[in-house]
Amino acid sequence: MSLTYEAVIFDLDGVICHTDRYHYKAWKALADRLGIYFDPEINNRLRGVSRMESFEIILENCDRVMTAEEKLAYITEKNNRYKELLKEMSPEDLSEEVKRTLISLRKEGLKLAIGSSSKNAELILSRIGLGGFFDAVSDGNHISRSKPDPEVFLKAAESLRIPPEKCLVVEDAKAGLEAAIAAKMDCAAIGDAAESDLGTYRLGRFGQLIQICISPDGVPRA
C-alpha cells in the first residue's frame, strides 16, 4: 500500500505530550516576583513562540523598561525553574494512543521528526521515554526564527532528506499551522488548532494520523 507522505513532523508541546502546566508555573512564578499580571489566557498566547518572544508578551502588562541583559537574565531564570519542574515528567506523560500511533507510523516506513520551538525538546523526550526515538529533532537550539516562520520545519525536512511537499506536520497551535503552510507542507491540526480552518486535516484524535498517512479518504479536512 502506497503512503500519502514520507515523513511526519510533530510539534512537541501539546501534540506528543503536554507541558503547558510546567510553563505556566515557571512564568507565573517570575511574573509574580516582578509584580506583572499573568493568567492562563496570557499563557495560551505563548504557545509555539520563542522564550524571548514569550517574555515580550508578558511584558505588555509591565510599565518598566528593561535592558536586553535584564530580559536575558529573567528568561534564563524562568528556564531554570522550568527545567526543574520537568523533572516531574515521566513515561506516564506519554499516552498509550500517542505511543501506539508513533510505533505504527514507523512500521509503515515513515520517517518521524520533532519540529519544536522549545530549547528543551531533547530533555522532554528523554523524560517521557522517547529519547533517541525520532529520526530528527529540529528545535529552538537549531533555529534563529520561531513559528510562524517555517525554519523549524524546513530544517527537520532537511535533516530527514525528505522534500517538504512529502512531509506532514502535526500541530496544536495556529502559529505552527502558519509555519507549516509557509514551508509548503500539509498539516494536521489537533487540539485548539483544530478549531482553525488553516489545517489540511482536522484531527479528533491522534490515532487518525495512521489513516491520513496511508489513505486520507474519509479524514476530516479543515
| Catalytic residue ranges | 11, 13
**Cα–Cα dist 201/183, whole Å:** 16
* CA atoms lying within 13 Å on the CB side of residue 163: 3
**Residue 96 to residues 13, 38, 196: CA-CA distances in angstroms?**
16, 33, 26
Query: Which of 179, 186, 120, 191 has its CA nearest to residue 147?
Result: 179
**Residue 90 to residues 18, 71, 85, 195, 206: CA-CA distances in angstroms?**
12, 31, 12, 30, 20
What's the Rg (C-alpha) of the chain?
A: 17
Q: Please tell me whether residue 216 adopts helix, strand or coil conformation.
A: coil
Query: Which of 207, 190, 210, 208 has its CA nearest to residue 199?
Result: 190
Cβ atoms within 10 Å, residue 218: 8
Q: Please tell me whether residue 139 adopts helix, strand or coil conformation.
A: coil
**Cα–Cα dist 118/211, whole Å:** 28
